[in-house]
Chains A and B, each alone.
Chain A
Amino acid sequence: MKRVVVILVWVLIFVPLAWGVYHSVQKSLPLFQGQAEPPSPSRPRS
């Protein structure tokens, strides 16, 4: 019974954390899909 309570409490904690990780992974997907544009053009050195 005690072990079940411990598991339940850990699940309760991990659900919001997993939701946060899921959102961050989703947000980071363009990093792996996007094509790089050429870097910003060089400005003449003064």
Chain B
Amino acid sequence: MNFFSREATVAKPGFNRWLVPPAAIAVHMCIGEVYGFSVFNVPLTEAGAGWTIPQVGWIYSIALFMLGLSAAAFGKWVERSGPRKTMVMSAVCFCGGLLISALGVKLKLLWLIYLGYGVTGGIGLGLGYISPVSTLIKWFPDRPGMATGMAIMGFGGGALIGAPLGVKLMEYFKSATSVGVAEAFIAMAGLYAVSMLFGALIVRVPAEGWKPEGWEPKEHAKPMITKANVAVDVAWKTPQFWCLWVVLCMNVSAGIGILGQASKMCSDMFGVSALVGGGFAGLLSIFNMGGRFVWSSVSDYTGRKTVYCIYFLLGALLYCAVPWTQSTQNKALFVAATAVIITMYGGGFATIPAYLRDMFGTYQVGAIHGRLITAWSVAALLGPSLVNYISTAQIDSGVPAAEAYNSTMYLMAGLLMVGLVANLLVRPVDAKYHRNESLKP
């Protein structure tokens, strides 16, 4: 047994479980920085290497692609190794990636930044994203939605911190010979390493058979919450896994389509300045973060299937209302509708681990979550491409810029209807897929 092993993190009697969510948030609010990476795009093009915006845009895309890939590939290792080792590895990869990228900026080698922030950092993102999920679910069997909501809220908050932090650090380090990007990367690597290692230090797993004081599992089991366990290699062969994959993919595609274009959309639809459009994007980020905690906590009371039905039905209704807010130039209603849509986008991310736990049990829920994250990678390509392609095609065909997003909104509502069908098809997992508990080590 060493300091990093799962055994070393088993909590002693009397340990306060409320120390575990901050450990998860400490990691998630660092890796969530990836959402704010765009603040480095323009300064990177001014670094004197002749890089273009499309070229530097690949850094973010590679990182998100590697997030999905590593979460899927290393899920079983994460379950075996425990949260501390995984969080440390995540810190090494993510912060190491920032350091490699700083070297890439200094040497003016773009491939080194792809390798650093994109590949190495992306692996850190994947490990860090899934590492606390199964730990939190085990600590909060009475409130799994709230528990995962807290961690994944941290990821949303990471963008709120990362973007202004990056800007302030670049301003501080900017000189006649440097745009300040490399120095900002180094400083961020140091700050994030401290936070992530702090999380790794305080994280604990509950002892075998532990349950919250005064809490007893309900005698009459709910049909949509299993008491059995399904292994990851079996889970992904079940129809439930693929229904949930579609659920996540559609929910994220619809939300990311708005979030990625928020500033330009607001400017085009309401004729406001870029500054106001940027303010709108900032406001949506706050709702994205808050929705993760609020909706996921609500799902503990309503059940996961019901809450996803709300996301899809209410979301579709609001998407259909957006063109009306534009035609009546009702900016307040537009902001309110899109804010609620974005809370449900965040809520979809945060509720999915608890949904997986309900379907497949706690045995390898982190690894199953890792494989489901591939839906996010697909959605990250699908959502923004749809919005960009359709709105550009509309403008090119002579539709006024202010109305060019209307078709996109109806399409997003359609995507949510596909998600609704997939959600309604989710049934309890057939007993033939359940793990034989007598084989348990």
Q: Which A residues fall within an 8 A CB radius of B? A: 2-3, 5-6, 9-10, 12-13, 16-17, 19-21, 23-25, 27-31, 34, 36-46
In the complex, what residues of A have CB within 8 A of residue B164's CB? 19-20, 23
In the complex, what residues of A have CB within 8 A of residue B397's CB? 45-46
List CB contacts (< 8 Å) of B386-436 with chain A.
Answer: 395, 397-402
Please give 9 more A-B residue pairs, beta carbons under 8 A apart, in addition to A31-B280, A41-B400. Answer: A10-B18, A12-B198, A20-B157, A23-B163, A27-B278, A27-B282, A30-B278, A37-B273, A39-B268
Cα of A19 to Cα of B29 in the assembled complex, Å: 12
Interface of A is mostly: helix
B16 interface hit (Cβ, 8 Å): yes
Interface of B is mostly: helix
Select from chain A the residue with minimum beta-carbon distance to B161.
Answer: A20
B321 interface hit (Cβ, 8 Å): no
B53 interface hit (Cβ, 8 Å): no
Give the size category of B's interface with A. 35 or more
- The listed residue (A9, A19, A28, A30) touching B202 by CB distance below 8 A is A9
- CB of B16 within 8 A of CB of A28, answer no
B25 interface hit (Cβ, 8 Å): yes
Cα of A31 to Cα of B292 in the assembled complex, Å: 23
Q: List 7 A-B contacts (CB under 8 A).
A: A13-B22, A17-B161, A25-B283, A36-B271, A39-B329, A40-B401, A45-B398
In the complex, what residues of A have CB within 8 A of residue B395's CB? 43
Cα of A37 to Cα of B401 in the assembled complex, Å: 14
- CB of A31 within 8 A of CB of B279, answer yes
- The listed residue (B268, B279, B289, B329) touching A40 by CB distance below 8 A is B268
Given A2-B16, A23-B160, is A13 in contact with B29 using a C-beta cutoff of 8 Å?
A: yes
Cα of A46 to Cα of B26 in the assembled complex, Å: 54
Question: Min CB distance, B238 to chain A, in Å?
Answer: 36
- The listed residue (B18, B159, B279, B402) touching A39 by CB distance below 8 A is B402
Cα of A16 to Cα of B283 in the assembled complex, Å: 17
- CB of A17 within 8 A of CB of B335, answer no
B234 interface hit (Cβ, 8 Å): no
Task: Pick from B283, B331, B395 the residue with the most CB of A within 10 Å.
Answer: B283
In the complex, what residues of A have CB within 8 A of residue B289's CB? 21
- CB of A17 within 8 A of CB of B160, answer yes
B286 interface hit (Cβ, 8 Å): yes
- CB of A5 within 8 A of CB of B19, answer yes
In the complex, what residues of B have CB within 8 A of residue A3's CB? 16
Given A16-B29, A39-B270, is A46 in contact with B161 using a C-beta cutoff of 8 Å?
A: no
- CB of B398 within 8 A of CB of A43, answer yes
- The listed residue (B159, B272, B283, B401) touching A36 by CB distance below 8 A is B272
B297 interface hit (Cβ, 8 Å): no
Question: Min CB distance, B165 to chain A, in Å?
Answer: 8
List CB contacts (< 8 Å) of B188-229 with chain A.
Answer: 195, 198, 202
List CB contacts (< 8 Å) of B152-167 with chain A.
Answer: 154, 157, 159-161, 163-164
